Structure 1
């Protein structure tokens, strides 16, 4: 089966307004058998979005409408393509209880989901790791080095894998090497393979999946998938399922990077 397990939607506050139909029809053109819409979930109650436009997650008021739209589309296209209702859930250190509470309520309504790390915590302040190259540069000043950002990122990803988020915790971990998004401009000095090994070991132990994300190929500062091919091969050798994700924020980005990946 040809699957894309990581697609955004018109409900993405920092994406395009391409309609569900544009995404779905493009997926059909490309020969997909199954797709999951994984819109950014509403951020936890009490969490202050650190990005300027406060648009990292869907507004809570739109969640019911989003899920209702997908239920209708599933029925409309049931004989053509399998559509799954999903969310991309943020793992945010310090907000595990709030995230579990959200998943306890929303989880039963989902067919699929992803657990991703975008926000890092240092000295009581959160930063959005992948917001922009300029913001990443400011983070270097705060953290003291590029390597410390990477170290914090991989530690947080590991925590996301092991965290108790209840019965509806997502079974797929999103773009585990997202810290590499700006690596061409701000290359780390160290290798973080040992941290990646730890993450993969825990993912395998828990029977979880990895998002094999093609978006990194088209980020100027990265140029490779999340995770890169060598880590993807390592995961496969460990029996970890990889699920391709375009991470498309517009319909034309469906299938991005797939031809460059070992699929």
Structure 2
């Protein structure tokens, strides 16, 4: 079975205008039998998106049209491919109750979901850690160092894994080394292997799945998977379920780098 479990759509405000049908047709042509559309879930109403364009996620009023479109296509293509309707849900420290409430409402309607960390809290301010190299530099300065920013990220990922978000909490943890996105820019060698191993061990303990995310290979400031390949091998040795995710934000990115992960997924 060829599966891509992390795909964004034209509903994403920082994504593409490519039609959802074009994603599905490419998946079928590429021999994939199972895909999940996992659009960025609406952020909590009382959370202010720190990105300049406030475009990190779909709006709440877009959620129903998104769900309707994916469910319509799910039925239309049911003989050709399995399509799952899902969301990528942000874990935001301090907003656990709002996230749980949202999941309680939407969870019964989902086939799949990912829990990811993008936003980090320093004092009373939130930073979108993967937005740009400039924002990452601001985050590192606020934390006191690049290493401190990495530590905050892993602490937040661990908090997401352990958080009580109710019965519909996503099982899959998204790109758990996303903090590496700008590693060739800050040009500091951060020794974070212990944190990554601990995150994976905690995922095993809590019964999580791993988003084997290929998007970092396409980022010139990263040039590796999230997490890097040796850690994917370690996760497999622990028995953590692995789900490839292209994290595509356009048709061109769909299934990209899948061949790099084949031996881990087989």
For Structure 1 versus Structure 2, the TM-score category normalised by the shorter chain is over 0.9
Q: Does residue 157 in structure 1 map to residue 157 in structure 2?
A: yes
Match of 1:242 in 2: 242
Match of 2:16 in 1: 16
C-alpha root-mean-square deviation of aligned residues, in Å? Answer: 0.9
TM-superposed deviation, 1:188: 3.8
Q: Does residue 101 in structure 1 map to residue 101 in structure 2?
A: yes
Q: Does residue 60 in structure 1 map to residue 60 in structure 2?
A: yes
SS in 1 for 2:160: helix
Q: Is the 8 Å Cα contact of residues 146 and 187 (structure 1) preserved in structure 2?
A: no
Q: Does residue 74 in structure 1 map to residue 39 in structure 2?
A: no
Match of 1:87 in 2: 87
User: C-alpha distance in 1, partners of 2:143/2:93?
Assistant: 17
Q: Is the 8 Å Cα contact of residues 171 and 209 (structure 2) preserved in structure 1?
A: yes
- Superposed CA offset, 1:102-128 (max 9, x none): 000000000000000000000110000
TM-superposed deviation, 1:201: 1.4
User: C-alpha distance in 1, partners of 2:55/2:100?
Assistant: 22
Using the TM superposition, name which of 248-257 and 171-180 deviates more.
Answer: 248-257
SS in 2 for 1:73: helix
User: C-alpha distance in 2, partners of 1:95/1:159?
Assistant: 12
Q: Is the 8 Å Cα contact of residues 4 and 36 (structure 1) preserved in structure 2?
A: yes
- Which runs of 5 or more structure 1 residues have no equivalent in the other structure? none
Q: Is the 8 Å Cα contact of residues 113 and 170 (structure 1) preserved in structure 2?
A: yes
- Superposed CA offset, 1:197-236 (max 9, x none): 2211111112210000000000011001101011101100
Q: After TM superposition, which residue ranges in structure 1, 4 or more long, deviate above 4 angstroms?
A: none
Using the TM superposition, name which of 81-90 and 186-195 deviates more.
Answer: 186-195
User: C-alpha distance in 1, partners of 2:220/2:190?
Assistant: 21
TM-score calculated relative to the size of structure 2? 0.97
**How many equivalent residue pairs?**
263
TM-superposed deviation, 1:190: 3.4
TM-score calculated relative to the size of structure 1? 0.98
Equivalences for residues 49-198 of structure 1 within 5 A: 49-198=49-198
TM-superposed deviation, 1:24: 0.5
Q: Is the 8 Å Cα contact of residues 197 and 231 (structure 2) preserved in structure 1?
A: no
User: C-alpha distance in 2, partners of 1:196/1:43?
Assistant: 26
